[in-house]
């Protein structure tokens, strides 16, 4: 009975369908929930929070690319709108909860409005033309953010304060209970985890609803979808707005966690490339691929340099390897790992694991 409730009510009937995949997701969720109580270092806590945030961002992008067949390069714009909504509200309205809620509401309204306008103006074009239009809009928005230095801080970005209740100086539970002190930053961390899981389950429900089936029909053949009565134009605008909303929420959580916003960290080209990479590595059109892709990318980005630094002394003096296995060349190994991952798993990690289960 409990397994049926988990499968149908919570996961909307869309389970990982592979024991290794299920185990990896369960282990990641347990690590997220227990890390603050086990005295995990700040590096691990930060990595887990980033995984949760990118999980929403990548899954929202997969709603467009994997389920609808739309390639949008303006996705980081909505991520940046959410981040700047929180940052500017906290800066100008004060470090209080009301300012954060105002920033969330305004950024969601702006994101949905921009997504609707972009969709109405460019959704009728197809393939690369839609991608180029969204790229142009995203680039213009990023330039505007950098130009209004007095408001946004320009290229330097803007630091801001959050309510004292969410700051590390606010001790919620003393070390005498769990052996470590739980502070306001711990509360922010669990807020990120809870909101991320809720958003993921909401997207999972969406893609397994009749609305999601219609999106997949449009992806496969929009002419046949229109022939059976699906309003392709309306469905594409709706999914564009829904995807933008989730990306905006991810941006809000990111700003709340780092307490800093800038164009490079929220709207930069590198962020968009990272989203694409995580989507392809995890597997398009699965949503679970967003979890696996985000986890692999963030963990490799966080710990690969340390691993190479630990291996470098043992290879000192070896002609070729000593030059390659060097801490300063960790980005080379990171790129090589992802190239091999994409080459050997063209359908993504989740697609490959599900394919093995089906066979």
Residue 104 has pLDDT above 80, yes or no: yes
Please give the Cα distance from 168 to 240 (Å, whole number): 37
CA 266-259-186 angle, to 5 degrees, is 120
Percent of the chain with pLDDT over 90: 35
pLDDT value at residue 229: 86
Confidence of residue 250 (pLDDT cuts 50, 70, 90): very high
Question: pLDDT tens digits for 89-100?
Answer: 998 988 888 999
β-strand partners of 182 = 173
Residue 1 has pLDDT above 60, yes or no: no
pLDDT value at residue 189: 93
pLDDT value at residue 179: 67
Residue by residue, what is the 3-state secondary structure of the chain?
CHHHHHHHHHCCCCCCCCHHHHHHHHHHHHHHHHHHHHCCCHHHHHHHHHHHHHHHHHHHHHHHHCCCCCCCCCHHHHHHHHHHHHHHHHHHHCCCHHHHHHHHHHHHHHHHHHHHHHHHHHCCCCHHHHHHHHHHHHHHHHHHHHHCHHHHCHHHCEECCCCHHHCCCCEEECHHHHCCCEEHHHHHHHHHHHHHHHHHHHHHHHHCCHHHHHHHHHHHCHHHHHHCCCCHHHHHHHHHHHHHHHHHHHHHHHHHHHCEECHHHHCCHHHHHHHHHHHHHHCCCCCHHHHHHHHHHHHHHHHHHHHHHHHHHHHCCCCCHHHHCCHHHHHHHHHHHHHHHHHHCCCHHHHHHHHHHHC
Say if CB 87 and CB 265 are below 8 A apart: no
- Residue of higher predicted confidence among 277 and 121: 277
β-strand partners of 183 = 171
Mean pLDDT is highest, among 158-167, 196-205, 258-267, 348-357, for 196-205
Question: pLDDT tens digits for 10-69?
Answer: 777 778 878 889 899 999 999 999 888 887 778 899 999 999 999 999 999 999 998 988
pLDDT value at residue 6: 60
Mean pLDDT is highest, among 31-40, 71-80, 123-132, for 71-80
Mean pLDDT over residues 90-114, rounded? 92
pLDDT value at residue 275: 92
Mean pLDDT over residues 130-143, rounded? 85
Say if CB 278 and CB 58 are below 8 A apart: yes
Please give the Cα distance from 325 to 299 (Å, whole number): 19
Please give the Cα distance from 53 to 176 (Å, whole number): 31
Question: pLDDT tens digits for 139-151?
Answer: 888 888 888 888 8
Give the β-pairing of 182-183 and 158-159.
unpaired
Question: Which CATH architecture is the domain 19-358 placed in?
Answer: Orthogonal Bundle (1.10)
- Residue 95's CB is within 10 A of a number of other CB atoms, namely 18
Q: What is the dihedral of CA 205, 208, 213, 214, to 10 degrees?
A: -10
pLDDT value at residue 126: 64
pLDDT value at residue 125: 67
Residue 164 has pLDDT above 70, yes or no: yes
How crowded is the C-beta side of 206, counted as CA atoms within 13 Å? 23
Confidence of residue 205 (pLDDT cuts 50, 70, 90): very high
Residue 194 has pLDDT above 70, yes or no: yes
Percent of the chain with pLDDT over 70: 92
β-strand partners of 260 = 159
CA 206-209-213 angle, to 5 degrees, is 105
Residue 232 has pLDDT above 80, yes or no: yes
pLDDT value at residue 310: 79
Residue 8 has pLDDT above 80, yes or no: no
Q: The whole model's pTM is what? A: 0.92
Mean pLDDT over residues 312-329, rounded? 73
Please enumerate in sequence order all residues whose Cβ is within 8 A of that of 171, keeping only pairs 6 or more positions apart, or say none. 181, 182, 183
pLDDT value at residue 3: 65
Domain boundaries, the chain: 19-358
- Residue 205's CB is within 10 A of a number of other CB atoms, namely 17
pLDDT value at residue 254: 95
- Residue of higher predicted confidence among 292 and 71: 292
pLDDT value at residue 177: 64
- Residue of higher predicted confidence among 260 and 40: 260
β-strand partners of 159 = 260
Weakest mean pLDDT among 30-34, 106-110, 116-120, 240-244:
116-120
- Residue of higher predicted confidence among 219 and 252: 252
């Amino acid at each position: 009975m409990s397994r049926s409730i988990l499968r149908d009510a919570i996961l909307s009937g869309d389970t990982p369908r592979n024991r290794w995949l299920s185990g990896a997701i369960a282990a990641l969720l347990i690590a997220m929930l227990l890390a603050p109580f086990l005295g995990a270092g700040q590096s691990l806590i930060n990595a887990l929070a980033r995984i949760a945030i990118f999980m929403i961002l990548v899954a929202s992008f997969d709603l467009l690319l994997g389920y609808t067949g739309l390639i949008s390069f303006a996705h980081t714009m909505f991520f940046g709108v959410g981040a700047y909504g929180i940052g500017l509200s906290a800066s100008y309205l004060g470090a209080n909860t009301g300012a954060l809620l105002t920033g969330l509401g305004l950024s969601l309204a702006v994101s949905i409005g921009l997504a609707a306008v972009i969709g109405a103006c460019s959704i009728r074009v197809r393939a690369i033309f839609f991608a180029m239009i969204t790229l142009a809009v995203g680039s213009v928005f990023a330039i505007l953010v950098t130009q209004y230095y007095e408001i946004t801080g320009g290229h330097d970005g803007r630091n801001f304060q959050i309510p004292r209740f969410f700051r590390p100086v606010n001790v919620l539970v003393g070390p005498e209970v769990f052996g470590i002190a739980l502070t306001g930053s711990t509360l922010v961390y669990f807020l990120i985890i809870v909101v991320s899981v809720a958003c993921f389950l909401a997207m999972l429900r969406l893609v397994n609803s009749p609305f999601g089936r219609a999106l997949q029909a449009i992806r496969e053949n929009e002419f046949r979808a229109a022939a059976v009565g699906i309003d392709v134009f309306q469905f594409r605008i709706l999914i564009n707005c829904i995807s933008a909303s989730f990306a905006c929420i991810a941006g809000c959580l990111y700003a709340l966690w780092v307490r800093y916003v800038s164009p490079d960290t929220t709207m930069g080209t590198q962020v968009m490339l990272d989203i694409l990479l995580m989507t392809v590595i995890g597997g398009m059109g699965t949503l679970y691929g967003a979890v696996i892709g985000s986890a692999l990318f963030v963990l490799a980005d966080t710990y690969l340099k340390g691993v190479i630094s630990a291996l470098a002394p043992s290879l000192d003096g070896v002609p070729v390897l000593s030059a390659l296995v060097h801490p300063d060349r960790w980005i080379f190994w990171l790129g090589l790992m992802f190239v091999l991952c994409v080459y050997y798993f063209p359908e993504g990690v989740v697609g490959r694991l599900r394919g093995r289960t089906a066979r």
